[in-house]
Amino acid sequence: MSSKSPDVEALIAQKYRHGFVTDIESDSFPPGLDESVVAAISRKKNEPQFLLDWRLKAFRHWLTMREPVWAHVRFDPIDYQDISYYSAPRAKADAPKSIDEVDPKLLATYEKLGIPLHERARLAGVAVDAVFDSVSVATTFKDKLAKAGVIFCSFSDAVRDHPELIEQYLGSVVPPGDNFYAALNSAVFSDGSFVYVPRGVRCPMELSTYFRINAAKTGQFERTLIVAAEGASVSYLEGCTAPMRDENQLHAAVVELVALDDARIKYSTVQNWYPGDENGVGGIYNFVTKRGECRGRNSKISWTQVETGSAITWKYPSCVLRGEGSVGEFYSVAVTSHRQQADTGTKMIHIGRNTKSTIVAKGISAGRATSAYRGLVKVLPSAEGARNFTQCDSLLMGPHCEAHTFPYMEVRNPSATVEHEASTSKIGEDQLFYCLQRGISAEDAVNMIVSGFCKAVFKELPMEFAVEAQNLLSVSLEGAVG
């Protein structure tokens, strides 16, 4: 008799807008992994001996390790011999010297993804390093940044041009044997981004890396290293997408951040890897190790992440608060729908005196998805006066999804203050009806309610990307009104 109810389930049906494949000739290794593959990657990049040794050591260690099983995710075993560990668009002769020499197909790909690589284009205030499968294909605004003394380049270029910095900092935050995926990455990483902001320099523009997986049957193993010297500051953002494929693809990245005295690093992620279809077929396994070390006094590292993609997400961007008075922050929105699984959170390790950390984690689950927050706050005996505030909120949409919270606390200094707040709520039928009764469509209402829920995190994103994140969220939760 009355009209059909707007169904929350239907509202969250997801459409993936970056699922196209770029038809480009590529130079790929056959699937398989042994020491010769590790050596071949190193050779491709003309790496110095120390790096090859480093890789091989990591590889040998990896062989002794097992995949972690404690995360609240389920998937079939990964066959590491069935993955290609290197795939790059075939270069004409040499690597392109400027944007104008980059293959137009690649430029068109990034254009289509909304990341124009021409410096005069829309993201005029943002320098971009574009990583396509295993290699960086372009980095914009290098010259302008160089004038300010900032090094921003692909990891491969950094190995060639600044080997001393790489040798000094690589693996200094995430040691090669840190965990199974980090060890694998250390052995086979192919490219990524490198940032060095020298003493006293405020990086004059936003830096970003855009990761794109294109080739089938490949894994992407990139490495990002950001060093902010004394008094330096930098804001960095990464974005990620991949084509829609029926098989799962592995993305195992490592990100290391180092902040020296009074330095500030703000690292934001908008992760939109292909999540798989509504039945859970395909999608990226996003098994990532991200860690920052506040090495200097009064330094600050802030992680902000908006995670909407990937079939499975396993990541815990963390802060090691070593310097006295250093500050770590983690702001996260993780959206899972259909059959997506996310186990994500952070670790805040308080070592220095008067260190401070803030954790704000928002999980949104819909469909048959599961989302877990896993966080560790560890206060060592040396961390006199340490303070932490943690807030985790979960929002459930529909009756079939799950949200879990696993907060761990280890406090070994009695002067520490650790606060934890958690909540779980449903997108209430009451909230939805309230909006409908005010004439607002069900779709707009859900978007509004979800954005409201995420507001505390979105306000931490750089301005240019807050809007993008908002849009991404609406796309992720978009669907026909049933």
Partner 1 sequence: MLSIVDLQARIAGKTILNGIDLEVRPGEVHAIMGPNGSGKSTLAQVLAGREEYEVTAGRVDFDGRDLLAMPAEERARAGLFLGFQYPVEIPGVNNVYLLKAALNAKRRAAGQPEVDAYEFLALVREKMRIMQMNESFLSRGVNEGFSGGEKKRNEILQMLVLEPKLAILDETDSGLDIDALKVVAQGVNTLRHPERAVVLVTHYQRLLDYVVPDHVHVLARGRIIKSGDRSLALELERRGYDWLLESKVA
The residues binding partner 1 (CB under 8 A) are 1-6, 428-431, 433-442, 444, 448-449, 451-456
Q: Rounded to whole angstroms, how far apart are CA atoms 90 and 28?
A: 9
Instruction: Closer to partner 1 by CB, 1 or 69: give it.
Output: 1
Specify the residue for token string 């002067």: 415
Distances, alpha carbon 68 to alpha carbons 74, 178, 227, 251, 376, in Å? 11, 12, 29, 16, 16
Residue 401 is encoded by which pair of tokens?
């999804």
3 or 49: CB nearest partner 1: 3
According to DSSP, the β-strands at 151-154 and 26-28 are unpaired
DSSP secondary structure of 231-292 = T-EEEEEEEEE----SSEEEE--EEEEEE-TT-EEEEEEEE------TTS-SEEEEEEEEEE
**Angle of CA points 54, 56, 59, to nearest 5°:** 110
Considering the complex, state which of residue 136 and residue 447 has its C-beta at the smaller distance from partner 1.
447
Check: CB of residue 336 under 8 Å from CB of residue 370.
yes
Q: How far is the CB of 430 from partner 1 (least distance, A)?
A: 5
Nearest-angstrom CA–CA distance, 50 and 231? 30
- Could you give the CA distance from residue 392 to residue 404 in angstroms, rounded to a whole number? 10
- Nearer Cβ to partner 1, position 12 or 418? 12
Q: How far is the CB of 15 from partner 1 (least distance, A)?
A: 23
Nearer CB in complex with partner 1: 4/66 = 4
SS3 of 50, please? helix
Min separation Cβ 398 and partner 1, Å? 15
CA distance 8 to 425: 14
Complex with partner 1: residue 389 or 433, whichever CB lies closer: 433
Cβ closest to partner 1, residue 319 vs residue 442: 442
Q: In 3D, which of 138, 159, 153, 30 has the Cα closest to residue 87?
A: 30
Instruction: Identify each DSSP E strand in 22-72 by its residue range.
Output: 26-28
141 vs 195: CA distance, rounded Å: 13
Minimum Å gap between C-beta 454 and partner 1 is 7
**Residue 193, Cα to own-chain centre: how many angstroms?**
13
Of the candidates 295, 300, 302, 352, which has an alpha carbon nearest to the alpha carbon of residue 329? 302
Other beta carbons within 10 angstroms of residue 36's beta carbon come to: 10
Instruction: Compare residues 142 and 362 and give the one whose CB is closer to partner 1.
Output: 362
Smallest distance, partner 1 to C-beta of residue 393, A = 9
Q: How far is the CB of 11 from partner 1 (least distance, A)?
A: 13
Residue 4 C-beta: closest distance to partner 1, Å: 8
CB of 402 to partner 1, least distance (A): 22
**Shortest spacing between CB 478 and partner 1, in angstroms:** 17
Which structure tokens are listed for 342?
């996310």
Which residue from 109, 127, 125 is spatially nearest to 464, judged by alpha carbons? 125
Nearer Cβ to partner 1, position 5 or 474?
5
Please identify, using beta-carbon distances, which residue of 85 and 453 lies nearer to partner 1. 453
Compute the least distance from the CB of residue 193 to partner 1, in Å: 33
Do the Cβ atoms of 194 and 152 come closer than 8 Å? yes
Encoded amino acid at 339, one letter: R
